[in-house]
């Protein structure tokens, strides 16, 4: 007896929960060969606002956690990815060997950023020489809520733009890769069952052109990563919108995700606080 396939529609990830889009819309996700894979929610401007609200609510607790604690949580996420290695490889759909290599590189990238959690302040901060009986110390602090447009690489690229944002104490709203959102949704399932507090990472699926400009213009978003924006006109529009409240912006780029990531993505969304303190007698 033949039966109908149950076509799954994946939800959004906002505030540690999986709500449906308030718009009720979805779009079809297909394989590189054009085969049906699933339906993904098509997030609206209202969903984007809800995600920013969740990220802002989570910011005080996450930025106030110790750097060591944040690193341990990222390491835990890496452990959970290791446990679902086969599933992630299957969803990448790039051939078994290449997919497994991509998943392994993603796990290694998470561990790398986890290791930097309690070291970036020492490298990026400094004790400044001053004339007078004072200590003058500069230390990095997270900038706040960061909106991230994820690159087309749906796993290693995604982790390479999200991990540096959150390991330094920021919270984020991610616009997943439009054509390949399934690894992002599966990552959300991992995050929801890890030690990561709800709202630290919020993942929206849908159309870049619909979501990115409104996140760029949102007055409660402090930083904007446009890495995944391929349309030059859209990138320009987002940068113009971001200028309204002087957001920190990482421009659109085509990175080699297999290369050494360096510190740029961590330091881009850090602000430097300088404190003067009198010397003790």
To the question of pTM greater than 0.85 for the whole model, the response is: yes
What CATH architecture does domain 12-28+38-278 belong to? 3-Layer(aba) Sandwich (3.40)
Look at strands 270-278 and 248-250 and give their pairing: unpaired
Residue 2: which H helix or E strand, with range?
A: none
Whether 216 shows a pLDDT value over 80: the answer reads yes
The pLDDT confidence band at residue 1, using thresholds 50, 70 and 90, is: low
Cα–Cα distance measured from residue 143 to residue 100, given in angstroms and rounded to the nearest whole number: 35
What digits encode the pLDDT tens for the residues 154-173? 899 999 999 999 999 999 99
Judge contact between 151 and 107, C-beta under 8 A: no
Mean pLDDT of 15-37: 91
Which two three-digit tokens encode residue 111? Answer: 């561990």
CA distance 14 to 173: 9
Residue 281 pLDDT greater than 70, yes or no: no
CA atoms within 13 A on the CB side of 206: 27
Q: Cβ atoms within 10 A of the Cβ of 115, count?
A: 13
Instruction: State how far the Cα of 257 lies from the Cα of 188, in Å rounded to an integer.
Output: 21
End-to-end CA distance of the chain: 88
pLDDT at position 60 is 98
Map out the domains of the chain as residue ranges: 12-28+38-278
Q: Report CA Rg, the chain.
A: 20
């Amino acid at each position: 007896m033949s039966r109908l396939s149950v076509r799954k529609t994946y939800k959004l990830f906002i505030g540690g929960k999986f709500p449906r889009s308030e718009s009720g819309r979805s779009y079809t996700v297909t394989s590189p060969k054009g085969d049906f894979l699933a339906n993904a929610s098509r997030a609206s401007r209202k969903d984007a606002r809800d995600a920013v609200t969740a990220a802002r609510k989570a910011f005080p607790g996450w930025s106030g956690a110790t750097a060591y604690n944040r690193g341990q949580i990222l390491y835990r996420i890496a452990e959970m990815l290791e446990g679902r290695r086969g599933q992630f490889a299957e969803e990448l759909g790039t051939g078994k060997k290449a997919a497994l290599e991509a998943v392994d590189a993603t796990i290694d990238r998470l561990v790398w950023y986890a290791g930097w959690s309690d070291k970036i302040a020492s490298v990026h901060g400094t004790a400044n020489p001053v004339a007078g009986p004072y200590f003058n110390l500069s230390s990095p602090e997270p900038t706040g809520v960061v909106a991230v447009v994820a690159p087309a690489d749906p796993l290693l690229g995604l982790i390479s733009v999200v991990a540096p944002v959150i390991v330094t104490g920021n919270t984020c709203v991610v616009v997943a890769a439009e054509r390949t959102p399934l690894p992002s949704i599966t990552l959300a399932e991992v995050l929801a069952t890890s030690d990561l507090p709800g709202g630290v990472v919020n993942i929206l699926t849908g159309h870049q052109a619909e979501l990115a400009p409104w996140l760029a213009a949102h007055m409660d978003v402090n930083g904007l990563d446009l890495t995944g924006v391929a349309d030059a006109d859209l990138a320009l529009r987002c940068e113009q919108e971001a200028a309204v409240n002087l957001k920190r912006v990482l421009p659109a780029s085509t990175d080699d995700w297999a290369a050494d990531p360096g510190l740029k993505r961590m330091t881009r969304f850090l602000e430097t606080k300088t404190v003067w303190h009198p010397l003790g007698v």
